[in-house]
Structure 1
Amino acid sequence: MDKSTLRWMNVVCASCLLVFALGTSGCGEEAQSKDTQTDETEPAVPVEAAKVVSGEIAAYFSGTASLEAEQEAVVVAKEGGLVARLLAEEGDYVRKGQALAKLDDERLLLDLQRAEVGYLKAEREFKRKEEMHSKQIVSTEEYEVARSEYDTQKANFDLAKLAVDFTTVVAPISGVVSERMIKVGNMVQANAPVFRVTDFSPLLAVMHVPERELNKLKTQQGAIISVDALPGASFTGHVERISPTVDRATGTFKVTVEIRDRTNQLKPGMFGRVTVLYETRSEAMLIPKTAILYEGDDSSVFVIHDSIAVRQSVTVGLSDELSTEILTGVDVGDQVITIGQNNLRDSSRVDVIQ
């Protein structure tokens, strides 16, 4: 190969390399230009937002409980016998000492008459011997025998009278007859249950609260009660008692809430939800609960600055059904994303939907 041919081939190769280099450079600049254009034209993510406001928030503890009566008594027959009459029925309001039923007392009245005759006879004899003893006509021994006989006959008369009185079954407390256990003509034994009387005011809701709430709940704190049987209705009450001990097996302590229902709509045995207000804070920084993102023990929100969503860690305080108190991380007036933040990246461009 001569020198002229070799020189020509070198020129051709150099030209090819130059063209390749220029082509590659042009492609890189075009790709970079496309990337830059893509970043600048990234579409804004539509979101909804709300401002951090200052307001009042209340903290509640909610639990479930069945209602029960503060006072309830099972009425028993103090004397056995045949049920002659019913003087009260289920649903009737009765006062303490009011008659509920009457048992047959024919035999007991005869026993009372016999005991009365013996008592009156012993009384006359005792008075006669007492007068004679004062005049020293009879001995002290005769006087003591007469007094002992009088005491015995009086006791027999009192017992017979008490047995007759016991044939009238009376209410031991004021309240509503919640159960009748006998019918006319039934034979009942002494001490057999015959009625149940329940005092509906007050009613109690007994909750078993986790021990971590022990320092939050105090007596006399207000409570709101709602029951499944009366949808839409709510009743007020207060914490009446708090057990000082924690159940080892369940890790809970007993809290008793007292409810006074003047409308008489609540009944023992109803199942409902009890909400106890234990703390209120004013001038708290509040945001909607939906704005907060949780990752383990950490919480954060997206704050909007010039249409850019910036993720910000926050410290939360009290919460209610709609709002959460923010202790640190945002300021009043900041705009936080409430809907659409779950798939956002930090520093994403957003479009707030009004």
Structure 2
Amino acid sequence: MFRNSLLLVFILLFISSCSRKKEEVSEEVLRPVKYGMISLTSDALRESFSGTAQSSKETKLSFKVSGKVNSIGVKVGDVVRTGQPIARIDETDYNVQYEQSKANMKSVETQIKSANSQLINSRANYLRVEKLYENNSVSLSEYEAAKSAYELAQASYDASLAQASASERQVESAKNQVTYSNLTAPYTGVITSLMVEENELVNAGTPIVTISSMINPEISVGVPEKFISRVSKDQHVDISLSSLPGETFEGHVYEVGFSSMGGSTYPVTIRIDKPIDDLRPGMAADVHFNFGAVDLKEKLIAPVAAVGEDNTGNFVFALEAEEEHFIARKVNVDVGNLTPSGFQVECGLEKGDLVATAGLSIILDGMKVRLMDPKQ
């Protein structure tokens, strides 16, 4: 009885072990694969040229007068608004000249009053003597003396008025000199460079700071003479920045240079349709032009890494969905031109098809696979 019970236990354990082995065998491991997608594109001539970001407006600010720089109120990178003070030079001498010119103006005003008074008196005397002369009550010499005195007073008064006009201009000029000793921002922008330090002596016209506009950033690019005739104002372009990999921005041609840049390239200015804050002057950029199309018929494009080659020719592994996994099907293709997006391919594929892009040498036709997470 005991032997029979022990035998029964061994039989049950053996059956359980075989069952677990069958379950383990039945669990199939699916190979993960990287994948890409078949897309469409036209056979357009696409060329890319390197350029540099720049501000649409950049100005070197300077004083209109000379003197010692008393203060500089900005630093490189500061954002300034229109009319904001930038720097100031010592205005003591210019204030003195302004006060002197105002004093001279007051002196001239006094002279005008005196000349006007003399003019009134001499004119009254002349009119009185003129009537007496008409009645033969005074001599000709007295009449001529009165007339001469009147004309002299008139000339003196006119000269005083001219001197007053000149004095007014001198006052205005001296006032401008005081104003010119303060440097302000002509428009809203960013300070990109400082050329002087406080307490330096500067001449009129010496650059003090450089200010760059914050609106409408541009890309300056040199286009070879072979393509310049195909570039036109408002032409659409795509822009990529080395500082922002993986991102593409739309833009348009703003200016097309007529003369070369000293070699076989011509300057072209590009403006970004939707400017971004991260774009700074001096950043490297690539501008992509589409120069028409040889064949406007759209063609299938496969990622470069998806195309393999064996003794039968070129092929790709198309990934067909089946329940919760995918089946890798080997599809022979005819490979055409290489484009920036991949190889042009024909035969057996459609737009949107998924294809393997890695491990082509170890994938077998009909193999069950799963798609790898793009983040892996």
- Please tell me whether residue 121 in structure 1 is matched to residue 75 in structure 2: no
Q: Distance in 2 between matches of 1:230 and 1:310?
A: 35
- Please tell me whether residue 205 in structure 1 is matched to residue 219 in structure 2: yes
TM-score, reference length from structure 1: 0.62
Q: Distance in 1 between matches of 2:104 and 2:80?
A: 38
- Please tell me whether residue 99 in structure 1 is matched to residue 81 in structure 2: no
1:201 shift after superposition: 2.4
1:13 matched to which residue of 2? Answer: none
Q: Is the 8 A contact 1:55 1:283 kept in 2?
A: no
- Please tell me whether residue 321 in structure 1 is matched to residue 335 in structure 2: no
Alignment of 1:121-200 (within 5 A): 121-126=107-112, 129=115, 133=119, 137=123, 138-139=150-151, 140-200=154-214
TM-score, reference length from structure 2: 0.59
- CA spacing shift, 1:165–1:273, aligned 2, 3 Å: same
1:255 shift after superposition: 2.2
Alignment of 1:249-264 (within 5 A): 249-250=263-264, 252-259=265-272, 262-264=275-277
For 1:272, give the aligned amino acid. Answer: A
Alignment of 1:33-112 (within 5 A): 55-57=40-42, 59=44, 60-112=46-98
1:200 shift after superposition: 3.4
| Deviations 1:238-283, CA, capped at 9 Å, x for gaps | 2112234567842x33322113664421111112222234558876
- CA spacing shift, 1:125–1:99, aligned 2, 3 Å: same
1:234 shift after superposition: 4.1
- CA spacing shift, 1:310–1:208, aligned 2, 3 Å: closer
Residue 284 of structure 2, aligned match among 271, 280, 301: 271
Q: Is the 8 A contact 2:252 2:272 kept in 1?
A: yes
Q: Helix, strand or coil: the match of 2:215?
A: strand
1:233 shift after superposition: 4.3
Q: Is the 8 A contact 2:252 2:273 kept in 1?
A: no
Alignment of 1:211-250 (within 5 A): 211-244=225-258, 249-250=263-264
1:187 shift after superposition: 2.4
For 1:203, give the aligned amino acid. Answer: P
Aligned residues: 271
Cα RMSD of the aligned pairs, angstroms, is: 4.0
Q: Distance in 2 between matches of 1:157 and 1:320?
A: 68
1:171 shift after superposition: 2.2
1:76 shift after superposition: 1.0
1:100 shift after superposition: 0.7
Unaligned runs of 5+ in 2: 1-37, 124-149, 308-312, 317-329, 357-363, 368-376
For 2:199, give the aligned amino acid. Answer: G
Q: Helix, strand or coil: the match of 1:194?
A: strand
1:285 matched to which residue of 2? Answer: 299
Unaligned runs of 5+ in 1: 1-52, 293-300, 340-350
2:22 matched to which residue of 1? Answer: none
Q: Is the 8 A contact 1:206 1:256 kept in 2?
A: yes
- CA spacing shift, 1:124–1:174, aligned 2, 3 Å: farther
Calculate percent identity across the aligned residue pairs. 21
Q: Is the 8 A contact 2:40 2:301 kept in 1?
A: no
Q: Helix, strand or coil: the match of 1:157?
A: helix
